Amino acid sequence: MTTKHILLLHGDGIGPEVVGEAKRVLEWCGTAAGMSFVFDEALIGGSAYDAVGTPYPAETLEKAKKADAILLGAVGGPKWESLEYAKRPERGLLGIRKDLDLFANLRPAMCFAALADASSLKPEIISGLDILIVRELTGDIYFGQPRGVSVENGHRVGRNTMIYADWEVTRIGRVALDLARARGKKLCSVDKANVLETTEMWREEVQKLRDAEYKDIELSHMYVDNAAMQLVRAPKQFDVMVTGNIFGDILSDCAAMLTGSLGMLPSASLGAEINGKRAALYEPVHGSAPDIAGKGVANPIATILSVSMMLRYSFGLNAQADLVDAAVANVLESGLRTGDIMQTGAKKVGTREMGDAILTALQNLAANTKVA
Ligand code: IPM
Ligand code: MG
């Protein structure tokens, strides 16, 4: 029996609750697929700081390097906001992304039919929506040097550097073009080439790559301000979008709302494939939601859909991933809702009940689709 090692990083706020439900789904899928999933845990974020004085303990990186896949809840919270920069929960997340070279962040935004009315946009604008944002995750202004706040001529000056090398653009461009090839063969690259030279170079490199190796893909370019506007005006015009770290951060929150709630969006952060293995971290796009933490009301669906991405991208278990996606759709069809996606006439449930319902739906689906 194949064994896979999965590292759970619960993190802060609602992290432990949503990861708890996602783990149950993973366990079920492992058994169904005849694979043995072995779980380990490590600290990250504010809870790591509280326990051992750093948001990113060395042991966490060690365990992360050895794991076949990582599932992370969320990090952050007001409790740690006034800490010095290096001690803040976010440093743990940014550290692990950088150290494992998880440069390709896949953020699909799909609108489940049952939730078409839950979005703040009109149902006809978002029903059937299925787009994929590919965000570069280890470069850009997030990591560029120089950075920091200093005193210059008696004034405090803050500085961050937007920087990309051509090879960084090409490697994320290639991921996005490959994904576009497997989907609708349309890629929109988002930049601010009218103002920022870095992103003008980005535009040229993506175009060059497409012309050299991906002539079958229809490539367009869009300025980020327009892209934000188009995402809320007519999101279905997009198939795959590719962009840098900071623009991708902003646009993916925007895209999340199209699906009804930030509580619905999964993500995968992937590294390069080395000797048949690729580092991979899966996490919901939402944050730690400190206001509802520990109350058992958080929506676990984004984390459960992140598990589906793990099954697909790390373990090649496409059939199980399809089952998880279908189970989520069925539960939503049946009218169960956590508070964030509550609609009139629906039944409000908590985190655990939503997890239970998805597990039951999985069992029913598996029983019905079993082939002799
Ligand atoms: C995200 C988050 C992170 C980011 C934060 C928590 C550091 O907003 O994953 O989108 O900015 O990348
Ligand atoms: Mg973000």
pLDDT in tens, 216-264: 999 999 999 999 999 999 999 999 999 999 999 999 988 988 887 788 8
For residue 275, the CA-to-ligand 2 centroid distance in Å is: 31
For tokens 């925007």, name the residue: 254
For residue 336, the CA-to-ligand 2 centroid distance in Å is: 27
Give residue 372's pLDDT: 39
- Of 97, 170, 183, 172, the closest CA to residue 132 belongs to 183
- Does the residue 167 lie in any domain? no
CA distance 112 to 118: 10
Give residue 113's pLDDT: 87
CATH of the domain at 304: 3.40.718.10
- Does the residue 19 lie in any domain? yes
- Does the residue 39 lie in any domain? yes
- Does the residue 174 lie in any domain? no
Decide: helix, strand or coil at residue 10: strand
Average pLDDT score over residue span 156-163? 98
- For ligand 1, atom 12, name the residue with the nearest CA: 249
Alpha helices in the chain (DSSP H): 15-33, 46-52, 58-66, 89-99, 123-126, 166-182, 197-213, 224-233, 245-258, 301-313, 318-333, 351-369
Buried b vs exposed e over 45-58: b needs ≥16 C-beta within 10 Å?
bbbbbeeeebbbbe
Residue 103 pLDDT exceeds 70: yes
**Ligand number, closest to the Cα atom of 15:** 1
- Does the residue 173 lie in any domain? no
- Does the residue 122 lie in any domain? no
Q: What's the pLDDT tens digit per position in 272-317? A: 888 788 999 999 998 999 999 999 999 999 999 999 999 999 999 9
For residue 76, the CA-to-ligand 1 centroid distance in Å is: 10
> Which positions are annotated as active-site residues?
142, 192, 225, 249, 253
By most ligand atoms within 8 Å of CB, the mutation choice from 56, 94, 267 for ligand 1 is 94
In this prediction the pTM is 0.94
For tokens 């090839």, name the residue: 181
Residue 367: burial class (beta carbons within 10 Å; 0-12, 13-18, 19+): exposed
- Does the residue 215 lie in any domain? no
- Of 362, 346, 293, the closest CA to residue 19 belongs to 293
- For ligand 1, atom 11, name the residue with the nearest CA: 249
The CB of 93 under 6 Å from ligand 1? The reply is yes
Q: How many separate domains does the chain show?
A: 1
User: Mind spelling out the 3-state secondary structure of 78-134?
Assistant: HHHCCCCHHHCHHHHHHHHHHHCCCCEEEEEEECCHHHCCCCCCCHHHHCCCEEEEE
Give residue 370's pLDDT: 63
Average pLDDT score over residue span 22-32? 96
How far is residue 95 from each of residues 62, 92, 173, 340, measured CA to CA in Å? 13, 5, 23, 30
Give the strand pairing for 266-274 and 277-284.
Answer: antiparallel
CA distance 120 to 94: 31
- Does the residue 232 lie in any domain? no
The phi and psi torsions of 107 (rounded to 5 degrees) equal -125, 90
- For ligand 1, atom 8, name the residue with the nearest CA: 249
Name the residue range of residue 282's domain.
1-108+261-372
Looking at ligand 1, which atom is closest to the CA of residue 283?
9
Q: Which residues are bridge partners to 100 per DSSP? A: none
Residue 65 pLDDT exceeds 80: yes
By most ligand atoms within 8 Å of CB, the mutation choice from 85, 88, 93, 143 for ligand 1 is 93
Average pLDDT score over residue span 130-135? 97
- Of 318, 317, 327, the closest CA to residue 364 belongs to 327
Q: Which residues are bridge partners to 336 per DSSP? A: 347
